[in-house]
Amino acid sequence: MAAGQQWVLVEMVQAFYEAPAYHLILEGILILWIVRLLFFSKTYKPHETYKLTEKEKEDLIEEWQPEPLVPPVSKDHPSLNYDVVTGPPSHKIIINGKECTNFASFNFLGLLDSDRVKDKALASLKKYGVGTCGPRGFYGTFDVHLELESRLAKFMRTEEAIIYSYGFATIASAIPAYSKRGDIIFVDEAACFSIQKGLQASRSFIKYFKHNDMEDLERLLKEQELEDQKNPRKARVTRKFIVVEGLYINTADVCPLPELVRLKYKYKVRIFLEESMSFGVLGEHGKGVTEHFGVNIDDIDLISANMENAVASIGGFCCGRSFVIDHQRLSGQGYCFSASLPPMLAAAAIEALSIMEEDPEIFSVLKRRCSQVHQALQGIPGLKLVGVPFSPALHLQLERSSGCRSSDLQLLRSIVDHCLDRHVALTVARYLEKEERFMPPPSIRVVVTVEQTDEDIQKAVSCIREAASIFLR
């Protein structure tokens, strides 16, 4: 080998001697040029020329014109002028001065104007006042909070529960408490907005699977498994989560929980379940979608729900095993850094839980009402009913879209207005069009509560039918 190299060297020297003079001169010039390019070219000293003088900076500052803080809102923006509700938003609701039957508030169990709940809230108000004046850590923990947490844990048959002072902040804080940068979250496309915000705050990799499509989810999980096999060291520290809703607020259908649990153990992914629509609704005792499917609640790593729908108070909670939940007491941003829930609202929630525990019959009544409304809303010409029969919040979509979202919304809005005129309160489901990851089609939301009578339902349905026949022909 060494001998060979030496031979090449000798050959090179020989070639140098043998080369014609013009060749050597040319090469010499080329070398000089490279040297010049490398060491004497100005392009290699960009800082001198790029640095702005104070004068130039000043000109730039003078020149700069920012955009207005907010773009102007057109006067006829659908969300600009809110309907004004006078008095309590209960079964009978006064909207813009008109008394209507409420088919729009998520007051599924009718606990909002329950006297028992009010009395307990008042007793608490007389003892504690309204506000808490501090976060949980700093003298903002009341005995009522601890009672509510243990009652919720008992109700759900989990080890521990933690309460938040705002429903929206619950899952939005819970997700980033566990899932960090580099972790992977598999999430249903139809997930609600607070989940989306939680995902965004976590800065994890987000993989969306088609709504309720377990094959699609399994495909993604398999892909990830292959990926993990390639890089097992990374896989050992990459946490994986599936985030789903029990009953989807945007589509009114239920997640296939048993299948999800199977996938969980097969691919070793944790499940976070958001039950704001299903807590206090599904299952024999209102425990939600786990009870509905008869799934062991311990198989779900974290359940989150708000206490603003069925419970008709304010706030939210997470429950699960202490190993999981306790972590949020230091890492849940909406828990640590926010003032705690006003004790009177916690007291109201406790009383609502008591009512739910004492009278589980209420859930079968709700279920009956739901299927009744579901049945009655079938086959309205021009409108398509979306949702499962036991969902208390159904969506009516247009059968044929005009292709333009705003004119579809306008059409639905006129149906809602028509019903409002006839004393039936409905609402168009509102979304932030630029913010939603997957925009649900425009729809009218019909909310079922136990307080609605047969006549109420009949009247509402005939109003909708009538309006549809007028506006949709």
Report if residue 197 touches other proteins, rule: CB under 8 A.
yes
Q: Which of 333, 354, 372, 462 binds other proteins (CB under 8 A)?
A: 333
Alpha helices, DSSP H only, in 305-395? 322-325, 328-331, 333-336, 343-358, 361-376
Shortest CB 459 distance to other proteins, Å: 18
Three-class DSSP category at 408:
helix
Q: Which is nearer to other proteins, 32 or 439 (CB)?
A: 439
Q: Which two tokens stand for residue 356?
A: 């739910």
147 to 166: interface string for other proteins, x by CB under 8 A:
------------x-----xx
Shortest CB 21 distance to other proteins, Å: 50
Nearest CA among 168, 160, 206 for reference residue 184: 206
257 to 286: interface string for other proteins, x by CB under 8 A:
--------x--x-x----------------
Shortest CB 3 distance to other proteins, Å: 54
**Do the strands 98-102 and 85-86 form a parallel or antiparallel pair, or are they unpaired?**
unpaired
Rounded CA separation 346/168 (Å): 16
Nearest CA among 173, 130, 91, 168 for reference residue 345: 130
Q: Which of residues 228-257 bind other proteins (CB under 8 A)?
A: 235-240
Three-class DSSP category at 261:
helix
65 to 104: interface string for other proteins, x by CB under 8 A:
xxxxxxxxx---x-xx-xxxxxxxxx--x-x------x-x
Q: Which two tokens stand for residue 42?
A: 């100005």
Shortest CB 19 distance to other proteins, Å: 48
Report if residue 226 touches other proteins, rule: CB under 8 A.
no
Q: Which of residues 370-399 bind other proteins (CB under 8 A)?
A: none
Three-class DSSP category at 327:
coil
Q: Which is nearer to other proteins, 45 or 51 (CB)?
A: 51
Shortest CB 436 distance to other proteins, Å: 10
How big is the site for other proteins, counted in residues (CB under 8 A)?
122
Q: Which of residues 38-67 bind other proteins (CB under 8 A)?
A: 52, 54, 56-58, 60-61, 64-67
Burial 120-141 (b: 16+ CB within 10 A, else e): bbeebbeebeeebeebbeeebe
Select the span of 3-11, 32-40, 368-376, 427-435 touching other proteins (CB under 8 A): 427-435
Q: Which two tokens stand for residue 211?
A: 């709504």
Q: Which of 42, 45, 47, 126 binds other proteins (CB under 8 A)?
A: 126
71 burial class (0-12, 13-18, 19+ CB within 10 angstroms)?
exposed
Rounded CA separation 403/383 (Å): 15
Q: Which is nearer to other proteins, 20 or 232 (CB)?
A: 232
Q: Which of 141, 371, 397, 414 binds other proteins (CB under 8 A)?
A: 141
Those residues with Cβ within 8 angstroms of residue 386's Cβ, 6 or more apart along the chain or in another chain? 251, 252, 253, 394, 395, 396, 397, 443
User: Tokens 């974290």 identify what position?
Assistant: 302
Q: Which of 190, 411, 425, 461 binds other proteins (CB under 8 A)?
A: 425
Q: Which of 116, 151, 321, 437 binds other proteins (CB under 8 A)?
A: 321
290 burial class (0-12, 13-18, 19+ CB within 10 angstroms)?
buried
Select the span of 7-15, 21-29, 30-38, 424-432 touching other proteins (CB under 8 A): 424-432
Q: Which is nearer to other proteins, 21 or 73 (CB)?
A: 73
Shortest CB 103 distance to other proteins, Å: 9
